[in-house]
Structure formats: C-alpha cells, structure tokens
Structure 1
Amino acid sequence: ILRMGNWVLSANVTLGPWIHVGSQVRHFATGSVGDTIEGRAQVVANYAHKGHKFVELDVLVLANGAKPLARIRHTAIYLPRQVAEAA
C-alpha cells in the first residue's frame, strides 16, 4: 500500500534522483485477492527548504475504484540541492 505513494509520484513527474522523506499512513480496510488497487492523489504542498525542492502528496488508495483502503501523506525531495547545483 505504501508503495502507491512512490508509484503516483514517479508516474506523474519526470524524476531524476529523488529522496523519500516520509509517509503517514492511515489504514481503513483490507483488500482481497483479486481486487483492483488504485491510487488517486493530489499535490498538497510544493516548496523549497535548504536548497531542496519538496513535494507532499495526499494519496487515497482504493479497492475496485470504491472501497477506501488507506490514505497516505507522502513527502519527497524531487530535486535534491546537489542535483540542482550541478545543473
């Protein structure tokens, strides 16, 4: 379930090296064998701190398009300071 946050980020942004900073996960239910699992996300914050560029995502993980399984607050550095300085 937690990997859904990484998948949403990498599927929607052209990434070079990036760093997973943290995730807060709230579980609501369990999925079943055969369920189709999907993640719906929106960017809730995008900011710079100490030269790094951060993004925070709010990810809702659903089974079969309807049953909420989890909500993830996912934080990542999508452009590390060192990469930006080298460009």
Structure 2
Amino acid sequence: MKKPLRWLAALTALLLPIVAMAQQKGLEIDIIGGNASALPITVVPMPYQGSAGAPATDVAAVVRSDLDRSGQFRTLPEAQIVQRPTRGSEVQYPA
C-alpha cells in the first residue's frame, strides 16, 4: 500500500513544476488612449541657495521626469533651454 502512494507522490512532485511553468504567462500591459497633445513645458534648473552643501538629488530632473511620465506634459531637454531665470520676474513669456 505504501509503494503506490510513494509513486503517486513522486509523480505529482515531478509533474507539478511542469504544469506550473505551462500556466505561467508574461505580464502584459495595454495602454489605451495616450495623450498625443501633451503640453510642452520647460523645467528650469533650480539654483541652490543655502549654507550647507548642495543636495545630491537634482530637483529639476526629478520634476522633469515626473511630468514626462504623467503623459500630460512634454518637457524640453535641459540642453535646449535658452533662458535660465531664477525669479518669476525674469521669465519672458511669448507675445
């Protein structure tokens, strides 16, 4: 009586991983309705004004990445930024 149970247990132990691999599928994400008209914006690098050392994280890069990933905005690469205002009064808006 013990031999058939051992055979059944061994067979189950061998076949279970094969069945699990056959059932496994890759993750598939479908994005429907992306925003083709993302608003173009510029995130100006923020100058550090403090007594301690500058932080290791580039805050402007984090903001730029977050806005890009939202899909609502299309940010201009930092290398293409013409003006670099540090105050709101220095921003020159298009006429």
TM-score interval w.r.t. the shorter chain? under 0.3
Relative to total residues, which structure has the larger strand share, 1 or 2? Answer: 1
Higher relative CO (Cα under 8 Å, sequence separation at least 6) belongs to: 1
Relative to total residues, which structure has the larger helix share, 1 or 2? Answer: 2
TM-score normalised by the chain length of structure 1: 0.21
TM-score normalised by the chain length of structure 2: 0.20
